[in-house]
């Protein structure tokens, strides 16, 4: 089934082994006619980021499985074992890990990647320092 994707100006996508960039000043509509893995720029993680945290490490593994179509390959079971180990270290992610594993076992690697992407966004949001409004200084009447 063809996939229609809109790429914003200067935006990049990964499609079928190539990184494509919209060099125009307008959004570009593309139609992907083959069964190829496609990722938008905001889903692409560079290898340099993979060791920033355990979540980024899991995300990078899932990205590799998706991009290189690891269906029924020995690496799939290694990734599932790694994700299970991650869950033991981070029990607060049990629900997400269960969903990721279910999608991997169902050969739905992009759906697994989407869940990991949400985990990554939550981690990045938690790492940003919140700006707490400072109370107004009290003035003492003279």
Per-residue pLDDT reduced to its tens digit, 65-88: 888 875 556 677 888 889 999 999
What is the H or E stretch that residue 3 is in?
A: strand 3-7
Coil/strand/helix, residue 19: strand
118: its two tokens:
């949400």
Give the per-residue pLDDT at 48: 85
- Three-class DSSP category at 12: strand
- In 8-142 the beta strands, taken as DSSP E runs, fall at 12-15, 18-21, 28-32, 38-40
Residue from 53, 5, 60 nearest 29 by CA:
5
46 pLDDT more than 90:
no
Maximum Cα–Cα distance across the chain? 79
Question: Is the pLDDT confidence value at 26 over 80?
Answer: yes
**Structure token digits, residue 95:** 């629900």
Q: How far apart are CA 46 and CA 65, in angstroms?
A: 14
């Amino acid at each position: 089934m063809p996939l229609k994707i809109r790429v914003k100006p200067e935006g990049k996508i990964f499609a079928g082994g190539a990184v494509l960039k919209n060099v125009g000043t307008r959004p570009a509509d593309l139609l992907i006619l083959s069964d190829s893995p496609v990722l938008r720029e905001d889903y692409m993680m560079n290898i340099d980021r993979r060791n920033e945290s355990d979540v980024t490490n899991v995300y990078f593994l899932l990205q590799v499985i998706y991009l290189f179509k690891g269906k029924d390959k020995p690496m799939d079971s290694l990734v599932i074992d790694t994700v299970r180990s991650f869950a033991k270290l981070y029990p607060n992610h049990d629900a997400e890990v269960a969903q990721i594993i279910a999608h991997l076992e169902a050969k739905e690697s992009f759906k697994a990647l989407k869940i990991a992407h949400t985990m990554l966004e939550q981690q990045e949001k938690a790492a940003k320092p919140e700006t707490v409004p400072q109370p107004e200084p009290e003035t003492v009447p003279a």
